[in-house]
Structure 1
Amino acid sequence: MDEEELRVKPRCGGCKDIVSEPYIVCVACRPAQIQLCLQCFSKGVEFGLHESDHAYTILRNDFSLFENGWTAAEETVLLETLSDCGYGNWSDAAQRLRTKTKEECKRHYNKSYINDPVADLPQFREWNQEVYPQPLVYKLCDDPPRFPDTSVMQQEMGGYMAARGDFNVEYDNFQELEIQSISFDEEETDELENRLNLAVMDVYLRSLKQRGRRKKIVRKYGLINLSKVQASHRLYAHHITDLVDKLRVFAQLFSPMEYDKFIKGIHLEKELRLQIRRLQECRQNGIIHIRNTNIYKTLKKRRQATKSQINLLSEILVHMTDNKACQSWLQRQVVLNTLSKGVSGPIPMIPRRSAPPLDIVGLPGYDKLSDSEREMCASIRLVPDAYLEFRGVMTTECAKSGCLKLSQARNMIKIDVNKTRRIYDFLLSEGHINKDPL
C-alpha cells in the first residue's frame, strides 16, 4: 500500500490507526470528520473538541447499491481501481477486490454505469438521535418571589431573604462576635497582641470568603428552593439515588450542565450494567436468542413461586411441634386469606420461640463466677466478662449512694432492658446491692 493510499484511508482519532468497517463517525464533530475505531469508542476516548457523549453513527458499507451481490465497499474499490488504472483493466480490479472475477467486474461496471446507469444514488436520512438525554437546566430569576417569613415556602427556601438577596442565618453565623472587641492601638497594645488580633481577623476574612463561595454555589445550581431540588432528584432511578447523594459534594467542581451530564452518564452506566447482568444470566441458563428471554422470565417467576411454597411448607413443619404456635399460625393464615378478599380483621401474632442457653464454658471470666451466676449468664445469653463489668459498676454505685434503683441501673448499663432487669433482680437476691437505703 503506497503513501498516497495510506493518506486517503480514514484514520482513528484516538489511536491514529487506519479504521476498518464497521467504525464510528461522530455526528457532533461532522465538519472535522472524526472517526473512531471500535476499540477506542468502547473505551470512551476523548481528544480535542470530541467528547465521549457526542451523538454518533456506525459507518458500514456492506449494503447493496445497484445489484445484489455487490456491496457499496466493492463499488468504491471498483471505481477507484478504474480511476487509477483506466477503463478495461479488469484484472487489476479483480485483484484488488479479491471477491470477484474480471468477467464479473466487466459485466457489472458496463451494466450499472454505462448501459443502464442509475440516475441518482440512494439518499440516506441524517442521524439526529443523541445518545444521552438533555441535562436539566436551572433558570434563575433576577427578581425572586418574596414570601412571608412564617410561610411554608420561606422555610423551604432555607431562610433565604429574597428582599435583600441574602440568608437569614449565615455560614459561621457568630463569627462577628469574635472581632467585636478587637481594637488596634499602637500605643497601648504590644506586638504579640497585635499579631493575635491580625490572626483573628484573618480567620474572619476566611469565613467571609466561605460565605461568598457558598452563596455563589447556591445561586449557580439553583439550590434556594428545596422543593425544586427534590423534584430534580426524582428524575434519577432509585438504584443510584444513594450514589447521587454521595456525589453531591462534588457538584461545586462542575458547572450545572456538566454535573447533570455526569449524573446522566452514571445513570446510563448503571442501566447498561444491569442489562448486561440480565443477559449474562440468560446466557448462563442456555438462552441465546432475545426472543426467548420473556419465556425465561416467566419460568423464573414460576420457579420462585414454587420455592416460596416450599418455604411455606417448611414453616408449617417447624410449628407442627408446638401446639400453640401451630394454632396461632393457622389463625394467622385464615385472617390473611380473609384480608385478600377485602375483609378486615386482627392478625394474631405467632409467639417467638425462646433462644437456647448460651454455652459460656471456657469463655474469659468463667472461672470467676459462681454456679448460680453461670446459670444466670447462660440463660440470658451474656458473656462472663460483661457480667463481671456490670456487676462491678452496679455494686460500686450502690456503695456510693447507699441504694440502687432499677431506673439508675438501666441508665448505667446500655443493654437490653430485660437483661438489665434479670441482672438487677439477681444481684438483689444475692445481696450484692439493695434498692432501699439502709
Structure 2
Amino acid sequence: MSIATAMEDIEEEMTGDVQCSGCSSVLIEPYIRCFQCSENNVLICLHCFANGVEFDSHESNHSYNIIRNDFSLFENKWTAMEEINLLKAIEEHGYGNWKEISDQVKSKSGSECERHYNKHYIDNPVESLPEFTEPEISVHPAPIVYKLCEDPPRPAEGSSLFNDMGGYFAARGDFTIEYDNYCELDISQMDFLDDNDDDDGFCEEDKKMMLDLRYAAVEIYHTCLKERDRRKKIIRDYGLINMSKVFVANKRYDRTIRSLVDGLRCFCTLFTPMEYDLYLEALHYERELKQEIMKLKEYRKNGITKLRNIRLFKVLNKKREQMQAKRHLLSDLLTYVQDEDNCKSWLQRQAFIETMSKGVIVPLPTAPRKAPAPLDITGYPGYDKLSQDDKEICATIRLVPEAFMEFKKVLIKECQKLGCLKLAQARSLIKIDVNKTRKLYDHLISDGTINKDPL
C-alpha cells in the first residue's frame, strides 16, 4: 500500500462526511469500528458504544477496533493526524507557503513543516507505510518476579488483606490446605518394581490385580490434581481471592442490584465471564429504565408532556417544597397558641434560630413536661380494698393498689412510732420518685391517716 493510498483512506474517515452509524453524529477520534460488521463498515461514536447501542445486524457484544490516529508514522513528534493535516494544507496552499500551512496544521511551525515534508516526502520518500515492530514473545517460560499487585492479589506481608486470603500463597499460587489435601498419602508408599518382596506370596493373577489397583490409585490421584487445577482456575478467572476488587466493582450498582448480585455470585460458574458480566449489565440497565419510567410517570402526572419543560418543573417544584416548609412552621405555631407555656417556648426557640448566626445567645427554656395519663388500675389485685379517694390517687401517681397499700402501711407505722412524720422522712422510707412520694404524703395528711410535724 502506497502512502498516498493510505492517507486517502485515513482522510476519508477523518472528514466530516463520516457519521456514526447509531446516532448519525460526526465522528471524532477516538471512535469504534465493528470488526464483525466489516462488510457494512459500521462506525460508532464513544457515546453510542458506551450505551451498548444495537441496530440492524450489529450487536453490542461484537468484536471491535478502536480507531485513532495519534500514533507516529515517520517521526515520534509527528502523529498520523498531523501528517494528514500537513498534506491537506500543502494541497490547498501549495508548496512553499509554509506560514499558511503552519496555520492550518496548528501544532507545528513553518520551519518544522518544511523540514519534515522535504525529508520524508521528497528527499527520502517511502514506497509503503512503515511496519510496526511486534513485541518480542519468549518461547520459554520465564520466572515471575514477586511484586506487590492487586491482580493476582499479592498484598504486603502483615496487611489486612494478607491475613484475610484464606491460606492463599500469592508467590506460589496455591493454598495451605488444598482440595483433598491428603491424597498424596495413598500413593506415597507405592512401589511398581517387579522384584517387590511383598508380592512373593501371591499368584500371577493376584499380582496382576494388585498392579491394576495401583494404577487405579494413581489415576485417582491424577483426577484429584485436575480438580485442584480446575478450582484454582475458577478462583483466578473470577477473582474470588481478591474480594475487595469484587466489592469495588459492585459499587457502581445501586443497593437493590448489589444485593441481587451478591445472591447470584454462586451461579457465576455456570456462565463464561463475558456472559455473566452481560447479564449483570442487563439487570443494571433494567433498573435504570424502571427508574426513568417512574420519573416520566411523575412528570406526566404533573402535566408535563415535553422534555424541555422538565427543567422548569424541577425549579418550581423546589420552590413549592420550600413554601410548604414555611407553612409547616406556621401550622406548628397555631397548635402552640392554645397553650401559653408551649407558645412561649416555641417563640424563644425561633428567636434562637434567627439570632444564632449573629452571635447573640438567647437562653432556651425547657419545654414543660406533660403530665402522664392516669393509670387504669381496674382489676389489679387489691383494687376492691381501696376507697374512692385511694383509687384516684393511685391512678394519678400511677401506683398499683398493692404497692400503695404497702407504702401506706410503712408510713402509718413510722408515724405511730415517732408521733409525727416529715416529708423528708417519708422520702427516705419510700424509694420511688420524689414527686410521687410528695403526692402520697399530702394525700395521707389530708385524709388524716398520718400527722406532720406541727413545727
TM-score (norm 2): 0.37
Larger relative contact order, structure 1 or 2 (CA cutoff 8 Å, min sep 6): 1
TM-score (norm 1): 0.38
Structure of larger gyration radius? 2
